[in-house]
Amino acid sequence: MNYLLTLAYDGTHYCGFQVQPNGRSVAAAFQDGLEAVLGCRPDIKGCSRTDAGVHALGFALNFHADCRIPVCKLPLALNSRLPRDIRVLSARVVPEDFHARYAAHTKTYVYRILNSAIDSPFDAGYYHRIPGRLDTEQMARAAAGFVGKHDFLALCAAGSSAAAHGDTVRTITECTVTRAGDRVEIQVTADGYLYN
């Protein structure tokens, strides 16, 4: 059967989602838990790659396996074997040809800013602190200008494979800036992203 799982994880202590030869990845930690529960180590397909230190609130992945555990109990079974910074939120059976990466039509990133002169030890790993007062109304107006289809070639890293293949056009469907007290969030939804 083909299983689709939604994960949430704190990426602080990981080198990203994808398995890396010289670092602990979310995928490897998840596969360790999967092997402990299923007794096998199926190949997993993630909806995206996340970089080192990036967190995920709703990361989709799928894998094929013969599993005797009812799908409704799979999240609890896996969570009992996963590190505390990785959690399975949901699981369901999907068609055999489903692939999480190819089924992902948009991806949303949230950038969090603590707009305060004094930082909080509880927010240090989750917010970027900017002490000077931000004009979030002006930021929101500027953010709206990013919505649409754009060529991001000028922002690609030197030697980028996307640039080499002429694959630098992306469509941003949402770019918002909101404030709640001293917390500012910039939310960007697009059909894909490029390596800086």
Residues 115 and 97 grouped into a single domain: no
Query: Do residue 7 and residue 88 come from a single domain?
Result: yes
Whether 135 is in a domain gets the answer yes
Q: Does this model's pTM top 0.75?
A: yes
**Over the Cα atoms of the chain, what is R_g?**
19
In whole angstroms, give the CA distance from residue 56 to residue 33.
18
**Distance separating alpha carbons of residues 41 and 162, to the nearest angstrom:** 31
Q: What is the pLDDT of residue 33?
A: 95
Chain position carrying tokens 């990785």: 86
In a domain, 196, yes or no: no
Residue-level pLDDT at 196: 59
157, two tokens? 């890293």
53: left (phi over 0), alpha (psi -120 to 50) or beta: left
- Is 42 within the bounds of a domain? yes
Quote the mean pLDDT of the chain: 91
85 catalytic, yes or no? no
Cα–Cα distance measured from residue 117 to residue 61, given in angstroms and rounded to the nearest whole number: 39
Q: Check whether residue 13 and residue 96 sit in a common domain.
A: yes
CATH number at residue 133: 3.30.70.660
Residues 68-93: tens digit of each pLDDT: 999 999 999 999 999 999 999 999 99
Does 128 lie in the same domain as 98? no
Scanning the chain, the segments in alpha helix (DSSP H) are 26-38, 74-79, 100-103, 136-144, 161-164
Estimate to the nearest angstrom the gap between the alpha carbon of 40 and the chain centroid. Answer: 25
70 and 137 inside one domain = no
pLDDT tens, position by position, 132-151: 999 999 999 999 999 999 98
Average pLDDT in the 112-117 region? 95
One of 10, 32, 51, 123 is an active-site residue; which one?
A: 51
Using 50, 70 and 90 to split pLDDT, how confident is the model at 124? confident
154, part of any domain: yes
- The answer for residues whose C-beta is within 8 angstroms of residue 161's C-beta and 6 or more apart is none
Q: Of 84, 103, 122, which marks where a domain is finished?
A: 103
Q: What is the predicted pLDDT for the residue at 32?
A: 95
Residue 63 φ then ψ, to 5°:
-155, 155
The pLDDT value given to residue 91: 97
Count: domains in the chain: 2
Domain holding 112, by residue range, is: 107-190
Span 96-123, average pLDDT: 91
Q: Which domain-ending residue is among 103, 126, 152?
A: 103
Both 16 and 81 in one domain: the answer is yes
Three-class DSSP category at 29: helix
What pLDDT, on the 0 to 100 scale, is given for residue 163? 63
- Mark whether 85 and 46 lie in a shared domain: yes
Same domain, 90 and 142: no
Residue 77 lies in a domain: yes
For 9-32, what is the mean pLDDT?
Answer: 91
Instruction: Show the tokens assigned to 32.
Output: 């360790």
Task: Identify whether 116 is part of a domain.
Answer: yes
Q: What is the pLDDT of residue 193?
A: 79
pLDDT score for 19: 87
- The answer to the question of residue 31 being in a domain is yes
Using CA atoms, how far apart are residues 154 and 162, in angstroms rounded to an integer? Answer: 12
Mean pLDDT in residue range 25-46 = 93
- Same domain as 74, residue 98: yes
Q: Report the percent of the chain where pLDDT is more than 70.
A: 97
Measured distance between the N- and C-terminal CA atoms of the chain, rounded to whole angstroms: 37
Do 30 and 48 share a domain, yes or no?
A: yes
Residues 156 and 70 in one domain: no
Which pLDDT does position 58 carry in this prediction? 93
pLDDT in tens, 179-196: 999 999 999 999 877 765
